[in-house]
Amino acid sequence: MTAADAPATMDLVTNHQEAPPTEARTAEARTAEARTAEARTAEPLTQYLQHANQRVRAFDRRRPLLWDLLFTGFWVTAALIDYTGGGWRSVTHTPDTPGPLLLALSLGLSVPLLWRRTHPAAVLFTTTPFALVNAWSGAMLQAALLQLVVIYHITLRLPLRGLWWAPALVLAPVVVSTARYGEGEWNQQVGSQLTSVLVAVLIGITVRTRQSYTEALEDRARRLETERDQQAQLAAAAERARIAREMHDIIGHNLSVITGLADGGRYAAGKSPERAAQALHAIATTSRQALGELRRLLDVLRAEGTAAHPVDLAPQPALTDLDQLIDGVRNAGLPVHTTVEGRAALPPGRQLTVYRVIQEALTNTLKHAGPGATSEIAIAYGDKGAVTVTITDTGAPGTAAPADGRGLPGMRERTALYGGTLEAGPRPRPGQGWRVRLHLPEESPQ
């Protein structure tokens, strides 16, 4: 086994700090260098081992075949040294074993290690006949111990429940040697080999468990990072939709009013200069109002460090501003009649929703209802924040808000924030025009 065969988990901690002024940064850098030097002095061996392990693992990931060749070459060389140097003679039962047989056994027990990581079971089946011949002939080459490396890789990479045969294959040569030459007691010979096999198996299980734990942590980190990115994308998409909705409500309505006032002023310029001047004054007032609301929206978007709800951060016209809104629409040439039933103090968010729905409905009437249309607004307050608003117009038959616009989706999004319902469509026959009905239910108790 090598450092590449027993990977370890390395924790990388990166500290990000803001850059201080030059003098402070220099002093801080010196302090950091002193601490680093002190840490290296305190635990040099641990750090060196960690760095060496990292380099070996990185080298193995880049060039696995080259590492396998180096690893196998080392043990082939060791096996050949044991054969040529005569070290095997100190434990052999047959010192006169032929040299070609010893060479074949040495290579047969060591060369298959090249495939120990990709095909460990096949390597064990390949080396077992050489181990049996080694035991039967009495040569007792030490290269037979390399089967323990294969046992480690089998435990590390293959399903554990079907590995009962691997220890049996490794113990078989010991049984053959003890039965043939009868040196030592059975329990001593078999027990010693069994202990070696169990140690290799336990090391493989330990490394395998740590690998699984490390992979689980890495997978969890990746999933958390993916979820974080998805949450950021969803938040960005929601914010873009909110900005688009606010921009549509602010700019779309006021530009529609300005367009109506400009058309009326153009017709009145030749006949009634005084009416034309009033239209120009109304255009200027509406433009300033639109610019003011737009500035408030941009100020909200530039705000940092706030934790308030987006609805609370948006520019918030209230129901008290409805009269000003309706007066602007009337000045643009659309007669509006208002009916109010009951009275209730709605929270600011609900007031904003009601205001924006009425604003969008009147804007659509200005754009699509045609000349001579009128509009009617009916507001009915209920208990605990409930409210129902119905906006109708007498536009030409078949007129409707464009299906690809942002108005109706924006109204439905605002309504959904409070669990309400929004209906928009042509008025029932025999009437004509368009109807928008908003209903916000009672506030749920917190």
Strands 336-341, 375-381: pairing is parallel
The answer to the question of residue 445 being in a domain is no
Regarding whether 260 and 369 lie in a shared domain, the answer is yes
Residue 30: predicted pLDDT: 56
Regarding whether 207 and 237 lie in a shared domain, the answer is no
How far apart are alpha carbons 128 and 114 in whole angstroms?
16
Angle at 389 between CA 377 and CA 330, to 5 degrees: 25
Is the model's pTM score more than 0.75?
no
Domain-ending residue, one of 226, 250, 265: 226
- The helix or strand, by DSSP H or E, that contains position 180, with its residue range, turns out to be helix 165-181
Lowest mean pLDDT segment, chosen from 58-72, 129-143, 201-215, 284-298: 284-298
Q: Helix H segments across 63-117? A: 64-84, 99-110
Regarding whether 178 and 273 lie in a shared domain, the answer is no
The answer to the question of residue 1 being in a domain is no
Regarding whether 376 and 260 lie in a shared domain, the answer is yes
Query: Which amino acid is residue 342, in one-letter code?
Result: G
Domain-ending residue, one of 170, 193, 226: 226
Regarding whether 269 and 211 lie in a shared domain, the answer is no
pLDDT surpasses 70 at 192: yes
Regarding whether 149 and 88 lie in a shared domain, the answer is yes
34-73 pLDDT per residue, tens = 555 555 544 577 777 778 877 887 887 888 888 889 889 9
Regarding whether 326 and 202 lie in a shared domain, the answer is no
396-439 pLDDT per residue, tens = 655 545 555 567 787 888 888 888 899 988 887 666 788 899 99
Domain of residue 212 covers 58-226
**Per-residue tokens: 13:** 């901690």
Domain-ending residue, one of 226, 243, 259: 226
Q: Could you say which DSSP state residue 251 is in? A: I
Q: Which of 443, 347, 338 is nearest to 392 (CA)?
A: 338
The answer to the question of residue 281 being in a domain is yes
What's the number of domains the chain is made of? 3
CATH number, domain with residue 428:
3.30.565.10
Which residue has better confidence, 400 or 345?
345
The mean pLDDT value for 338-353 works out to: 84
Q: Which of 36, 56, 34 is nearest to 44 (CA)?
A: 36
Regarding whether 408 and 304 lie in a shared domain, the answer is yes
Regarding whether 204 and 96 lie in a shared domain, the answer is yes
Regarding whether 97 and 74 lie in a shared domain, the answer is yes
The model's confidence at residue 19, banded by pLDDT at 50, 70 and 90, is very low
Q: Are 245 and 413 in contact (CB under 8 A)?
A: yes
Regarding whether 219 and 129 lie in a shared domain, the answer is yes
Regarding whether 381 and 315 lie in a shared domain, the answer is yes
The answer to the question of residue 345 being in a domain is yes
